[in-house]
Structure 1
Amino acid sequence: MRRIEEVPLFPEHWGETRPTQLINVASVPQRSPFRYPGGKTWFVPVFRRWITSLRRRPSVLVEPFAGGGIISLTAIFEDLVPQAVMVELDEEVAAVWEIILEGEAEWLANQILSFKMTKDTVLELLNSSPQTKKEKAFQTIVKNRVLRGGILAKGSSLMKRGENGKGISSRWYPKTIARRIIDISRVAHRIIFRNEDGLRVMSEFANREDVIYFIDPPYTADPQKPGKRLYKYHQIDHEALFTLCQSLRGDFLMTYNASDEVKLMASRYGFELCSIPMKTAHHKVKWELVIGRDLSWMQDCS
């Protein structure tokens, strides 16, 4: 495996390449209303470099495991693609995206701005049963901000100390979250959201050369990896995903938690792979795998 040296944050022209190094996440615009476990903010500069290395500008980006959606949002806000298709199976996460993209962003933003964050109000909200999609979206945003690590899967618990000892309110930035929601609503006409199975949606576009894919599946190919406790829908047929990628006419880029199982699959399907460093929430450096048909744009990779 070859280490990447440096990724350009803002390529000056389509197709530019430079060496890369460990990404400073603080230098990447934060566009998602979620704090998402396994989120890909740190990967944004690498994504920019890949998409600008393509021979022609793609018409559509499909993100079959969208989650917090940072890659699709980056592609749209920075005009790297005309349209993005975001796919997410989790109904709670889906409710947020649907409300933002279907004309109710202002309502959601106002709910966030007016919410009084205390342990009592949080517990009351989390113990309630949403009656509408709007209510589910608001409840999900609050849950995402007060549960440890932003984990929405069953069994996650409230933050205790939180950031700087602020407890459950330590990740609650109502003005910032509301602003991001309103900003996303302004580009909603360029985003299609689908609360469906990601592989099924990918297969619909498989014959189109002008469609590209950013694929970040739950990390469950290795039984020791954390996907099962992080995501409600963690089960995925990894072999089926690799088979589908082999059939795509458009290009794709896939990220996986580094494991021998994934390396063997990539080898069997004839894909190239490279290890890339990223810094965890606890400031530890760990390695993830980047997989694609051609990674020549990533210097010093084998």
Structure 2
Amino acid sequence: MFDIEEKRDAHAVVNVASVPQRSPFRYPGGKTWLIPRIRKWLKQDQSVVNLMIEPFAGGGIVSLTAAFEKLANHITMVELDDEVSAVWQTILNGKNRWLAERIFNFDLTHDNVNSELTKPDKQLSDKAFCTILKNRVFHGGILAKGSGMIKSGENGKGITSRWYPKTLRDRILAIGYVKDKIDFIEGDAFKVITENLNNEGAYFFIDPPYTVAGKRLYTCYDIDHEELFRLTSLIKGRYMLTYDDTPEIRQLAEKYNLEYRLIPMKTTHHTQKNEIIISDNFSWWVENDLR
């Protein structure tokens, strides 16, 4: 079965500039480039999805797109990383305006950044601000241990290369208009998936830390990939599971009899590679249609 599907990867690479940018994060491994496909997936039953669950929320672009474009009535975002979680809790639980203005009014210098990041005993909202700060001034937006500040950056702009205070403020304030649709859980993706296995009306968008780059990119990278495949195979609702295209991942898909397609994407270094999209069905999949 998989030999046929491996030939179905003749797609154009999505221009991410054509997709509305909703998230305050520049998230490594984010799925902005996949949004045209995700729209098709969410519309497959020709009605608004009642519940969409994103167990590895990260930068949240899929949840935000579903909320803003009215593709789902209710959305559950789950994230284990306490820094990323602090951002979503602050935005979704009533302090989005505080965070937006804190970012907009911050004087971005090396001294000021270091002062903020080294402050002890941070409140949740302060941790959220520092997370956005690190995400915007660290190489590649990487929050994992070992990452450091941008040096030269774009056109020699250094740490200001990715610091767009007005844009960030506008995005965070905009999320306030859809936050009532979104429930956020700081917790374990596996637990939330298990609790919702039998929910036939749920749509799961599952984008875990990948096997190859996860350790370098994320703090919470160490997951049981085979257990995730096993759980996915038990889901009664709809699901889309994304992974890097490796022999190990293909073997797990075959072991649990999960159907997949290949799709090209460009990395941050502008090289093209394939990713694997695993789904309960591909009736929604249209070749070379990226609208």
Q: Distance in 1 between matches of 2:46 and 2:97?
A: 39
Partner residue of 2:17? 26
Whether contact under 8 Å (2:24, 2:172) holds in the other structure is yes
Partner residue of 2:109? 118
Q: Distance in 2 between matches of 1:183 and 1:300?
A: 33
Structure 2 letter corresponding to 1:74: T
Partner residue of 1:274? 261
Partner residue of 1:180? 171
Whether contact under 8 Å (2:103, 2:169) holds in the other structure is yes
Provide runs of 4+ in structure 1 moved above 4 Å.
none
- Determine if the alignment matches structure 1 residue 207 to structure 2 residue 194: no
- Determine if the alignment matches structure 1 residue 157 to structure 2 residue 148: yes
Secondary structure of the residue that 1:33 maps to in structure 2? coil
Superposition pairs for residues 239-254 of structure 1, below 5 Å? Answer: 239-254=226-241
Secondary structure of the residue that 2:243 maps to in structure 1? strand
- Structure 1 unaligned blocks of 5 or more: 6-19
Q: Distance in 2 between matches of 1:3 and 1:30?
A: 28
Superposition pairs for residues 11-90 of structure 1, below 5 Å? Answer: 21-54=12-45, 56-90=47-81
Q: Distance in 1 between matches of 2:283 and 2:259?
A: 9
Q: Distance in 1 between matches of 2:59 and 2:89?
A: 13
- Determine if the alignment matches structure 1 residue 234 to structure 2 residue 239: no
Structure 1 letter corresponding to 2:251: L
Q: CA RMSD in A?
A: 1.4
Structure 1 residue 250: deviation in Å?
0.5
Secondary structure of the residue that 1:92 maps to in structure 2? helix
Q: Distance in 2 between matches of 1:291 and 1:230?
A: 22
Secondary structure of the residue that 2:75 maps to in structure 1? strand
Structure 1 residue 299: deviation in Å?
4.0
Post-superposition CA distance 1:106-137 (Å, at most 9, x none):
10011001100111111111222242101101
Structure 1 letter corresponding to 2:141: G
Post-superposition CA distance 1:208-230 (Å, at most 9, x none):
1111100001012xxxx110111
Post-superposition CA distance 1:215-254 (Å, at most 9, x none):
001012xxxx110111101011111111111111101001
Structure 1 residue 282: deviation in Å?
2.0
Structure 2 letter corresponding to 1:226: A
- Determine if the alignment matches structure 1 residue 127 to structure 2 residue 118: yes
Structure 1 residue 89: deviation in Å?
0.3
Q: Distance in 1 between matches of 2:223 and 2:45?
A: 29
Partner residue of 2:208? 217
Structure 1 residue 2: deviation in Å?
2.9
Over 3 Å counting, the alpha-carbon distance change for 1:268 and 1:108 in structure 2 is same
Whether contact under 8 Å (1:40, 1:71) holds in the other structure is yes
Whether contact under 8 Å (2:87, 2:128) holds in the other structure is yes
Identity %: 50
Structure 1 residue 55: deviation in Å?
5.7
Partner residue of 1:2? 7
Q: Distance in 1 between matches of 2:287 and 2:190?
A: 31
Secondary structure of the residue that 2:85 maps to in structure 1? helix
Partner residue of 1:102? 93
Secondary structure of the residue that 2:180 maps to in structure 1? helix
Q: Distance in 2 between matches of 1:167 and 1:54?
A: 47
Q: Distance in 1 between matches of 2:137 and 2:39?
A: 31
Structure 1 residue 56: deviation in Å?
4.8
Q: Distance in 2 between matches of 1:50 and 1:25?
A: 18
- Determine if the alignment matches structure 1 residue 295 to structure 2 residue 286: no
Structure 2 letter corresponding to 1:109: A
Q: Distance in 2 between matches of 1:281 and 1:272?
A: 28
Out of 118, 129, 135, the residue aligned to residue 138 of structure 1 is 129
Q: Distance in 2 between matches of 1:175 and 1:111?
A: 11
Whether contact under 8 Å (2:44, 2:283) holds in the other structure is no
Structure 1 residue 147: deviation in Å?
0.4
Whether contact under 8 Å (1:4, 1:21) holds in the other structure is no
Q: Distance in 1 between matches of 2:157 and 2:48?
A: 45
- Structure 2 unaligned blocks of 5 or more: 1-5
Aligned residues: 283
